Amino acid sequence: MRSLGEDSIGNTLRDSHLNLIYKEEGDLVALLKSQDDLSTLLELVGLVDGLADTLSKASNITIFAPTNQAFAVVPRNIPEGQAIEFKNDTIAIGALLANHVFEGVYPSKFITNIPTFAQTLLDGSYVNEIQPFSNFTRGAYNELVRNGKDVCVISGEQTISTVTAADIMLGEGITIHKIDTVMSFGAPLQLFTYRSGYFAMNTALEASKLQLDIGLVASEQGLNISDYTIFIPTDEAFKSIGSVLASASLKTLQEVLKYHIIPNNVIFSTSLGNATVPSLQGADFTFTVLPDGSAWVNNARIVYPNTILFNGAAHVIDTVLAPGPFNRSSLKPSAPASERLAFPSATPVLSLPFSSLAFAGDLMTYTTTPELLKTVAAVVTASAIATTTMVSGMASTTATGKPAQFTGTGNRLYPAVMGAAGGAFGVAALLV
C-alpha cells in the first residue's frame, strides 16, 4: 500500500495538536472523528464498504486528507462533485479517495523542490456509467513537490493542493497530511489539449484517425497503449511547418504523430538523461539534458513538462518532431525554435489544414497557469540539488548526487487492472 504523510512547512501549523502518533492499529475512524475539519472525509470513507478497516490495516501508505472546505468547493457539475453532494455514487467516491492514497511513505521532510512522481491507488477498476476515472497500470500518478516552504501535490487539471498539517501517524505504517484542495483526475489527452489551448495537436489527432485508445475522446476505441508518454508541439510549432502539413498524406500525418508517442512507459522529466528510447512509430528519440536544466527530445525543447493525463504523461515541446535518426552533436540549444525545424524545407502558415476540434465548447479552460507549474524543476541537476538542500535544510542525497527518497513498498488496497506492460519504471534504467 501507500503511506500517507501530512506536512505544512512555511506556514505555522494551524493544528499543532495534530502532530500526534496514533499507536493503535485500526483507529482511522477515531482519528478522523477527532478532527472537526475532516468530518466530510470521514463521511465519504464510510460510504465505501470496508474502506476504513482496510486503510487502518494498511502498511506503507500515505494519505493526503482534504479538509471540509476543500470538499465544499469541488464543482458540483462534475461526477465527483455530484457524488460528494448527493452521496449517491460510491464508484466516483471510491475513485476520488483512491487518488488521495499513495503507495509508499512520504514524510514531509523528504519532499523537496525536485518533484517526486508517486502512484496512488486509483487504477482502471474505477468505472461508473459515465466514465473511467483513470487507466494507469498500478495507479494514477500525482506530483509531490515543495513550493518554497510549503509542501504541495500537483494532480490533474493544473490542480495544486497545499499541505496545511503534516506527518500525522496512524500506527507505524500510515502517514497522513491535511490538504486545502481536493486532487483532480487527469484529463483525457484531447480534452487536455482543448482546455489548455493546444488546438493544433487536438485537430491533428482528430484528422489523423490513429485508432489508438490514448484518451482521445470518450468513445474512442482502438489499440490500448495506456501508460504512455506524449510530446505535444505548440500551435506555433505546427504553423511553422504548415506547408509540409498541407501536402502531407494521411499516412505521413499518422507516422509523424506516432513519433510523438512512447508506448508503455510513463516518463517524467526528472528521469531524463542523455539516452535514446524507441517511439510508437518505431524510430528512436534522442534525449538530451543540459547543465542549465533544459531537457530536449531530438531538436525540440521541452517547454512545459509533466502534465498528468487520464492514462499518460504529456510534455509540451517547441518544434514538431520528424521520424528518423538524430545526432545530439547537431543540437543548437541557443537557436530559436524557428531555426531548429525537423522539416528544414517547411514554410510557415497562418492557419493549419485541420479544423475539427475534439471537446469544442467545453467550458473549463486554463486561462492562467499557476506560477508553481512554470517554475518547478524539470530535470535533476547539481544546482537543483544544491538549492533543494539549501531551501529545505532536510534533503539528503545519495552517492550519485540524486535526492534520496524515503518510501516504503506498499500493499495493494484495491484490485488492479494489470493490462499494459512496462510502466514508469521500465524506462528509468535507460534514462537515468
Which residue reads 494514477 in cell numbers?
140
The residue with greater pLDDT, 399 or 280, is: 280
Q: Residue 348: pLDDT above 60?
A: yes
Q: Residue 422: pLDDT above 60?
A: no
The residue with greater pLDDT, 402 or 337, is: 337
Per the structure block, which three cell numbers stand in for 99?
A: 487518488
CATH class assigned to 16-186+380-418: mainly beta
pLDDT, residue 222, reads 55
pLDDT, residue 193, reads 94
Q: Residue 212: pLDDT above 90?
A: no
Q: Residue 215: pLDDT above 90?
A: no
C-alpha Rg value of the chain to the nearest Å: 22
pLDDT, residue 401, reads 33
Q: Residue 121: pLDDT above 80?
A: yes
Cα–Cα distance between 35 and 32 in angstroms, integer?
5
pLDDT, residue 404, reads 32
Mark out the alpha helices in 99-198 (DSSP H runs). 189-195
Q: For the chain, how far is it from start to end, CA to CA, in angstroms?
A: 26
Looking at this protein, which amino acid is placed at residue 198? Answer: Y
Q: Residue 272: pLDDT above 60?
A: yes
Q: Which residues are CB-neighbours of 177 under 8 A, at least 6 positions away?
A: 4, 5, 6, 7, 8, 62, 63, 64, 65, 108, 151, 163, 165, 166, 167, 168
pLDDT tens by residue, 364-403: 888 888 999 988 988 876 655 555 544 444 333 333 333 3
pLDDT, residue 221, reads 54
189-339: same fold as 16-186+380-418? yes
Task: Confirm if 270 and 262 have CB atoms less than 8 A apart.
Answer: no
User: Which among 134, 184, 53, 101 is positioned nearest to 312, based on CA atoms?
Assistant: 134
Query: The whole model's pTM is what?
Result: 0.83
pLDDT, residue 384, reads 55
Per the structure block, which three cell numbers stand in for 95?
A: 475513485
The residue with greater pLDDT, 405 or 346, is: 346
Burial string for 347-363 (b: 16+ CB within 10 Å, else e) reads eebeebebeeebbeeee
H or E stretch including 277?
Answer: strand 275-278
pLDDT tens by residue, 217-263: 444 555 556 799 999 999 999 999 999 999 999 999 999 999 999 99
List the domain boundaries for the chain.
16-186+380-418, 189-339
pLDDT tens by residue, 73-107: 999 988 889 999 999 899 999 999 999 999 999 99
Mean pLDDT, residues 100-119: 94
Determine how many CB atoms are found less than 10 A away from the CB of residue 226. 24
Q: Residue 14: pLDDT above 70?
A: no
The residue with greater pLDDT, 133 or 41, is: 41
What whole-number percentage of the chain has pLDDT above 90?
Answer: 58
pLDDT, residue 17, reads 34
Name the band, by pLDDT with cuts 50, 70 and 90, for residue 419.
Answer: very low
pLDDT tens by residue, 307-333: 999 999 999 999 999 999 999 999 999
Q: Residue 205: pLDDT above 70?
A: yes
Q: Which residues are CB-neighbours of 243 under 8 A, at least 6 positions away?
A: 346, 347, 348, 349
Q: Residue 432: pLDDT above 80?
A: no
Per the structure block, which three cell numbers stand in for 26?
A: 485500526
Tell me which fold the domain 189-339 belongs to. FAS1 domain (2.30.180)
pLDDT, residue 52, reads 86
Mean pLDDT, residues 200-204: 94
pLDDT, residue 135, reads 87
Looking at this protein, which amino acid is placed at residue 178? Answer: K
What whole-number percentage of the chain has pLDDT above 70?
Answer: 79
pLDDT tens by residue, 184-194: 999 989 899 99
H or E stretch including 252?
Answer: helix 250-258
Cα–Cα distance between 407 and 143 in angstroms, integer?
14
